A and B are shown apart, each in its own frame.
Chain A
Amino acid sequence: MRVLGQMGFLAYALVLGNPVEDVLLFLLVILFGSMGLSFTMTMVSAIASKARNSHTLMAILSFPIVLPVLLVIIKISKNALNGVERSASLDDFIVLAAINALVGAASYLLFPYLWRS
């Protein structure tokens, strides 16, 4: 997913011109953001696949859980787009990393329970 994100960014940058002023930060956000998203989405889709009628269920379950990650990502990437000083987004970045650690640890611990049947 990270690679996909980077590729998407590159493609857009090629076609539309690069509006991002702080490229390094933006790439980092893509890295961490997609990590967080993939942790939660993997977990939620595993839950949804265990429950048979899974299509609507996945949307319902995942939306509120990924929202915190999304909010932080949007904020940092806006900062990166506008080239705001790095120190302004440092706090948000720490929060993003913390959420990632929390969600990653939780899904790592819980996945075996979910999958054995």
Chain B
Amino acid sequence: MRKSWWKVLTVIILVYVVVGGLLLDVPRLHILNETIRALYFHVPMWFGMIILLFASVIFSLRYLRTGIKDFDTRAAEFANVGVLFGIFGILTGMLWAQFAWGQWWSGDPQQNGAAIGLLIYLAYFVLRGSLEDDGQKARISAVYNIFAFAALVPLLFILPRMTDSLHPGSGGNPGFNAYDLDSRLRMIFYPAVIGWTLLGVWITSIRIRIRRLSLNQDV
């Protein structure tokens, strides 16, 4: 029980986020209206994805420094779940865009950037799948993982801000600046980020355990 307190915390936070996010009052903002509730589900997905992928990069780095195989397993699983979060982020974003912009996919710079970012990590899995020798697979994919993250950062954080986008937060649409002022949103948004990220870590830890067990069985 002592070790699983954070899982209980995760469940409590997520119940709070889902119930509160759907039922509590939200401020009326121009254009966004009720779809602002996507802030509790769509935005934390990206936060969670970045945090998980960053964890993956850290484990890749540690693998390269130490050569302990377990770090590679962890890096791979963190990337897996990170990409899962990214896919959910894109799906919820598309759902939101369908209501706010009238189209599932409108070729907005943010959407394209996110799709390319996912492509990078799908390529990471292709790379992992195509290498046979275990030690080589671990080393090369760790290198690619770090390199890919370095390429991902400008793609997700700099380029969309340089071009005109319809996404909230740029091009004169209400965005984070407006949210920051409103404590009603913050009350749910911050727990949402923490909760979804914890859920991601939880899924990852289970997957790592499964992977370890199956590795032991092979031996």
Contacts and interface: CB of A to CB of B under 8 A. Distances in A.
Interface stretch (A15-23, A67-75, A78-86): A67-75
How many A residues are at the interface, by size bracket?
20 to 34
A65 B148 contact: yes
B18 interface: no
Contact of A114 (B117, B140, B153): B140
Given A51-B131, A61-B123, A71-B159, A110 B146 contact: yes
B139 interface: yes
B160 to A, nearest CB: 11
Contact of B130 (A53, A67, A68, A91): A53
B103 interface: no
Interface of A is mostly: helix
Interface string B12-43: 00000000000000000000000000000000
A9 interface: no
Interface in A61-104: 61, 63-65, 67-68, 71-72, 91-92, 95, 98-99, 102-103
A71 B153 CA distance: 15
Interface of B: 64, 116-117, 119-120, 123, 126-127, 130-131, 136, 139-140, 142-144, 146-148, 150-151, 153-155, 158-159, 162
